[in-house]
Amino acid sequence: MTDETLLPHIDELNAPFWEGCRAGVLRVQQCPATGRLMFPPRPVNSWTPGTEAVWVDVSGRGRIWSVIEPHPPLMLNFTELAPYNAIVVELQEDPAIRIPGNLVAAPGAAINSVG
């Protein structure tokens, strides 16, 4: 495993999403005119251009749309964590929104806690 930890690039656009994650809350953007949700974060409102999207908390519930256990790990930084899984979840509030992540045994557990 390399010494370099793989962390997301946090910028002005996606900071509210990652702040929510740190607080244990899933946040996505929403068009205030239509109520439609958007993910991943976008600089321009997809549903009503010219209207600024707002950040809203969602339930964090959904349905696993896809799951994979990479063999061998596709990224060297994760070799020592193998086996681990990667999932894509359809958001309960809008199944068109699919969010990638890892399925873990408990909040804060390692990504290889469910194998």
Give pLDDT, residue 110.
Answer: 84
What is the percent of the chain with per-residue pLDDT over 90, rounded to a whole number? 63
Stretches in the chain below the pLDDT threshold 70: 1-5, 115
Give pLDDT, residue 85.
Answer: 87
Q: What is the pTM of this model?
A: 0.84
Report the candidate in 60, 67, 61, 59 with the shortest Cα–Cα distance to residue 114: 67
Give pLDDT, residue 70.
Answer: 82
What is the rounded CA–CA span in Å between residue 61 and residue 12?
26
Domain boundaries defined on the chain: 10-58, 59-115
